[in-house]
Each structure stands twice: as C-alpha cells, then as structure tokens.
Amino acid sequence: MASSTDGWIRRQGFPDLAPDANLSRGPRERLIQALLGLCALVTVFTTLGIAAILIGESVAFFRQVSLAEFFGDTKWTPQFADKHFGIWPLLAGTLMITVIAALVAIPIGLAAAIYISQYAPDRVRRWLKPSLELLAGVPTVVYGYFALTFVTPLLQHVIPQMQVYNALSAGIVVGIMIIPMVASLSEDALRAVPRSLAEGAYALGATKYEVVLRVVVPAALSGIMASFILALSRAIGETMIVTLAAGATPKLTLNPLESIQTMTAYIVQVSLGDTPQGTVVYQSLFAVGLVLFVLTLGMNLLANRIILRFKESY
C-alpha cells in the first residue's frame, strides 16, 4: 500500500512529498529562516536597549532623589527653586486621561464591533470598517488641536467653569483616537467565533440579540479584553493630545475640569532642549519614562494573561 502511494505521489510530479523523501532544508531556506529570526530578535534587543538606557539614567537620578521622596511626595516641581519630585501628580493625570478615554472608547468601540460583525450587511461592512480604521491614520497633533479648538469650547458652553486646558476634553479625544483599535480588534475576535455556536443557539430558539450577547461575545471574550487593554496602553502612552489640550500643571486632583500634566507631557516639556544634560531635572525625564515603561509593560503582560485565561479552543 505504501509503495503504491509513493508511486502515485511521484507520478503526480511531487517526488519531495514522498514519505521517504529527503526533507532537509536547502541553503536558501536556512538563510531565509536566519533572516526572519534576526528580524524577530531586533524587536527584543530594541526593547532591552530602551530598558537599559532608562534604568541606567534612572539610577543616576535616584542617587540624588530617594525612592521614598519619588513615591511618597505629592508635589512635582522639578523646575522650581523649591524642587519636589513626587511622581503622583503625573501618574494621577495619566490615569485620569486613561479612565476618561476608556469610558469613551470601550462602549463605542465594542458596539461598533458588534454591529459590523453581526448586524451589518456585507456591502455596509465593506466600507464601514475601512472608514472606521481611517481614524487611526489621523496624526495625533491634529487630534490635539481638535480637542483644544473644538471640543473644549463646545464643552465650555455646557460647563462654563471648565478651564481652557483640562483633562476632560483631552481624555474624550484620546478615547476617540483609540476607538478604531477597540473596534477593529474586537470585530476580528467576534468574526473568529465558529458559526456553528450561533447556529446551535438559533436551533434552541434563541433570538439574534441573545445569540450575540450570550454566545458570540462570551466566546470572543479573550480577544475583546485584549483589545481593551492594548487600546488603554495606547492611551497611557499618548503624547501630543495631552500636551496640547490637557495643560502643563502637575496637580494631584480628581477634577477633570482642571489643567493637569501627564507623564508623556512632562517628557515632552523636558525634551525641548532648554534643560541642560546631566542635571537632576534632565535625569528625571528617564525616571518618569521608566515608570511609564513599566506601566505599559504591565498592561501588555496583563493582556497576555487575560488571553490565556479566557481563550477558547474550537
């Protein structure tokens, strides 16, 4: 039986597919494999290089500023005569922007993903999803001026006491910016759910609404949660929108109507070139960058854990 199979394979012109064929890779394939592996290692070495620079410069900073002051003080005034290096005002501003962005992007993005994947006709889906993803191509500096010149004046008609630079308008526009990420990744996860699950629910008498919310969405939960966390990681690292619209006042507050400063906005402020290298103010840039790096790394690790925790095999 085996010999007849081998003969049929060879007669079809595929001698290398025979079970006893020599399957060793040629020099060209080994070269391609090595190049692909090298490209994968570039990302690893780049990440390690960034971490090494941040840690090295941060060590010099923490020789002058103690960890107790960095994590215990509630004031951030490195460029004043009375210097304080408490990270909490910057961290609170960053988290406030992220929370506001999440309140905007998660419900709208998930609703858009459900509509595109489950309700929209094919002809609507073909133009709606690319149109939604166009938002991801808008430069963030444009979003920043959009927040400053349109969203803030619009909100001031409703909330007159709102300051020109504030966390609310910046957070709303950051949320608009990450909607395509939430919608696109969630839509891919929803469409990856086997149709047999939905058909089984229909056979039991479930309605369209019940199938979507009780069968399809739970089955795609790992991908949906991963899209949420990856989008929020993007919001944490956003720079130009918060620099232009949120202000430059490091303040430990929960009031989104006031001017604040995020970690990324402070990095931009110090990086403008007015701060001499080697000073404690310059080195504080790397300490803040290290905190931001650890925060986003933790978010990505959390996304991987959630994927593994809720992943379904079909």
Q: Quote the pLDDT of residue 18.
A: 44
R_g of the chain, CA atoms, integer Å: 26
In 3D space, the residue among 147, 203, 154, 213 whose CA is nearest the CA of residue 175 turns out to be 147
Q: How many CB atoms lie within 10 A of CB 87?
A: 22
For residue 99, what pLDDT is reported? 94
Give the pLDDT confidence score for residue 42 in this predicted structure: 92
Residue 271 to residue 252: CA distance in whole angstroms: 23
Of 261, 242, 247, 241, the C-alpha closest to 93 is: 261
DSSP letter for 147, please: I
How confident is the model at residue 47, as a pLDDT?
A: 87
Predicted pLDDT at 183: 92
Alpha-carbon torsion, ordered 254, 260, 263, 269, to 10 deg: -170
Q: What pLDDT score does 174 carry?
A: 94
Output the 3-class SS for 287-299: HHHHHHHHHHHHH
- Structural contact between residues 235 and 174, judged by C-beta atoms closer than 8 angstroms: yes
Give CA angle at 15 (10, 16), nearest 5°: 150
Domain 71-310 top-level CATH class:
mainly alpha
Residue ranges of the chain with per-residue pLDDT less than 70: 1-25, 273, 310-314
Domain boundaries, the chain: 71-310
d(CA 253, CA 74): 10
What digits encode the pLDDT tens for the residues 149-199?
999 999 999 998 889 999 999 999 999 999 999 999 999 889 888 888 888
Q: How far apart (Å, rounded) are the C-alpha atoms in residues 131 and 27?
A: 45
Q: How far is CA 44 from CA 35, 38, 41, 285, 293, in A?
A: 15, 10, 5, 23, 15
With beta carbons less than 8 A apart as the criterion, state whether 159 and 169 touch: no
pLDDT at res. 22:
46
Residue 236 is encoded by which pair of tokens? 């944490």
Give the pLDDT score at 134.
Answer: 83
